[in-house]
Amino acid sequence: MGAVGGGGSGPLEAFNSTWIKARETFGQGSPVGGEQFDGSSRLQQMKATVESAAPDSRWQGAASEAYAAANKEHAAVYGKLAGLDKRMAAEVTNAAAVVSAGRENLDTVKSWVHSMASSLGATTAQDRDRKLVPIVNQGISQVSDIITKSTGEMNGIAGRLRSIKAEYAELLGQKFGPGKDGSGDKDGAEPLNVKEKGEGDDGPIKTDMSSGEIEKIDRSNREMLQDMLDEYQKLPDGQVKTDRLADIAAIQKALEVPGSHLIYLEKPGDPSQMIPAATSVGDPFTADHVSVTVPGVSGETRGTIEGMTREAAQLRDEATNIVAETNMDGSHSVATIAWVGYQPPPNLGDSSVLSDDLAQAGAPKLTSFLGDLDAASKNPGQTTALFGHSYGSLTSGIAMHDGASQYLDNAVLYGSPGFQADTPAELGMNDNNFFVMSTPDDIINPFGALAPFHGWGSDPNDIINDDGHLRFRFQHLETSAGLTPIDGYESKIGASGHSEYGRDAGDRMTGYNLATILLNRPDLAVKETPLTW
């Protein structure tokens, strides 16, 4: 939050505007404590009930021992769930306290500023503004400190809640007794499409990529897609039916791209939800270099996956051309993935773009996909690059912060409103493998400047003074037209606006740069440096 200068802008009005925006971050209504989340007493009672059902001396033998072991494990789970409930309730109460304290502190600052303004007495408007400036600047500084402190506390709470959520998921997915190691069917056969852990009968059914057999996975997913088409065609006429059939039609069109495969498909438990899917051009289980691209705002399956798959093919072609042009040693096969695996905001006008709720929900799904992809890889030397566009960069940043970076060698985030980090290290990356792209006229740039205000980390385009030298806080790749470092290679046209980063990869500087990072050759990328003062 910047200081207020002199002039006719109205310092007090500037403070009031800043204060209102800050106050909006704390919401409306009374903060609710965590009591409603605390079911620990009931869970402890269930633990006691289970323990009381343990076999006694009247039942002996192997069956009794197996039952007793499973019974003990069940009781332990109820005990752990009770502990998690208590921790969850405590964190919700902590969050409510942060909100209450933030509101109270903001009110105190506002009262002080207005009191000081009233004490100035009668004077000319120009003299009044001159005297108001230091008062207002101090008030705005205090407001900024309140927001920074509250944001830090909320980020800490959010991190602990994510940890609790993961512990819940682990407990709910636990198996007991014989077969708990997941050995499965007696013949050793595993289904390619499995119901997600922790879900009931109506839970989603999603791809199992563990075989790493591209043709087998693709065939199974196409069969599942046809089954979904047959089922959804029987839905009552309406928006749900229209949207799901549009999802399926878009996936089918994407699979018309030469060399494309359907490597991931999820049938949602509720047909009103989008069908998550991922396509690959090339084999990501054997390729030397793999990229995964995450869409942003309006990136639903029905409107995105076909175009993203075509862009994936263009990116793969550009990477292949670079390999040939530079005579790279060794094998450099490439696979490019379009991952449409989460629900993004529907458009820039939707209120969800101002919240990270959808990104928080999508990040674990992205992490899970990257982990499954890594586990199924048959190439131990494989490199993986993550490309996140727009709101997808926020989703990617949260995922990397929470552990997805362990599956990555490089990442490029572009057209970004922020990615919840002040340094690459906070995402598990460094200045040599984490990059940002931003066109000068991208409409998202003003949103990125507000990233600190939202608690989304630093402005992706922040410029800092490093011992007298200006540099980007995050290493930037060039988006404007120009030449590449490869002798004799064609010059590239620039990208503009918010949507051209991944388009026409063979022609644009942005496509060239993405291809070099995909190939794990950042030394070939064209870097951007900030304009000097």
The yes-or-no verdict on residue 8 having pLDDT over 80 is no
Average pLDDT over residues 434-455: 91
The arithmetic mean of pLDDT across residues 155-167, rounded, is 72
Bridge partners, 294 (sequence order) = 388
pLDDT tens digits for range 184-194: 333 344 446 66
What six digits make up the tokens of 342? 């989460």
In 3-state terms, what secondary structure has residue 323? helix
pLDDT digits (tens, 9 = 90+) for 162-178: 777 667 666 655 544 44
pLDDT computed for residue 191 by the predictor: 45
Rounded CA-CA distance 462/416 in Å is: 12
Report CA 270 to chain centroid distance, whole Å: 22
d(Cα 87, Cα 317) in Å, to the nearest integer?
51
Q: In what order do the strands lie in the sheet with 410-414?
A: 193-195, 205-207, 260-267, 277-281, 334-340, 289-294, 383-389, 410-414, 434-437, 476-477, 527-528
For residues 201-236, b (16+ Cβ closer than 10 Å) or e, as one string? eeebbbbbbeebbbeebbebbbebbeebbeebeeee
The 10s digit of each residue's pLDDT in 461-510 is 999 988 778 899 999 999 999 999 999 998 999 999 999 999 999 999 99
Q: What is the pLDDT of residue 177?
A: 46
- Amino acid letter, residue 418: G
335-390 tens-digit pLDDT: 999 999 999 998 877 888 888 999 999 999 999 999 999 999 999 999 999 999 99
pLDDT, the chain, mean: 85
Lowest mean pLDDT among 145-149, 182-186, 406-410: 182-186
- The three-class DSSP label of residue 42 is helix
User: Which burial class, exposed, middle or buried, applies to 9 when counting CB atoms under 10 A from its CB (0-12, 13-18, 19+)?
Assistant: exposed
CA distances from 412 to 318, 377, 415, 437, 476 (A): 17, 22, 10, 7, 9
What pLDDT is stored for residue 118 in this prediction?
A: 87
Between 406 and 6, the higher pLDDT residue: 406
CA distance 16 to 116: 14
pLDDT for res 313:
98
Enter the pTM of the model. 0.65
Task: Kindly tell me the burial class for residue 273, based on how many C-beta atoms sit within 10 Å of its own C-beta (0-12, 13-18, 19 or more).
Answer: middle
Q: What sign results for the dihedral spanned by CA atoms 109, 112, 116, 117?
A: positive
Query: Looking up tokens 């007495």, which residue turns up?
Result: 121
What is the structure's pLDDT at 466? 80
Task: Give the Cβ contact number of residue 46 at 10 Å.
Answer: 18
Beta bridge pairs of residue 477: 527
In this structure, the dihedral spanned by the alpha carbons of residues 195, 200, 201 and 202, taken in order and rounded to 10 degrees, is -90
pLDDT surpassing 50 at residue 7: no
Two tokens at 247? 């999802």
Mean pLDDT of 142-167: 77
- For residue range 252-304, what is the model confidence (pLDDT) as tens digits? 999 999 999 999 999 999 999 999 999 999 999 999 999 999 999 999 999 99
* pLDDT the model gives residue 83: 73
How much is the average pLDDT of 520-533? Answer: 86
> Is 146 in contact with 109 (CB distance < 8 Å)?
yes
pLDDT at 221 over 90: yes
Could you tell me the pLDDT band of residue 52, with boundaries at 50, 70 and 90? low
- 58 or 410, greater pLDDT: 410
User: Which of 518, 520, 415, 425 is closest to 476 using CA atoms?
Assistant: 415
Mean pLDDT of 319-345: 95
Sign of CA dihedral 320, 435, 284, 344: negative
Q: Identify which of 2-11, 40-49, 164-173, 471-480 has the greatest average pLDDT.
A: 471-480
The length of the chain is 533
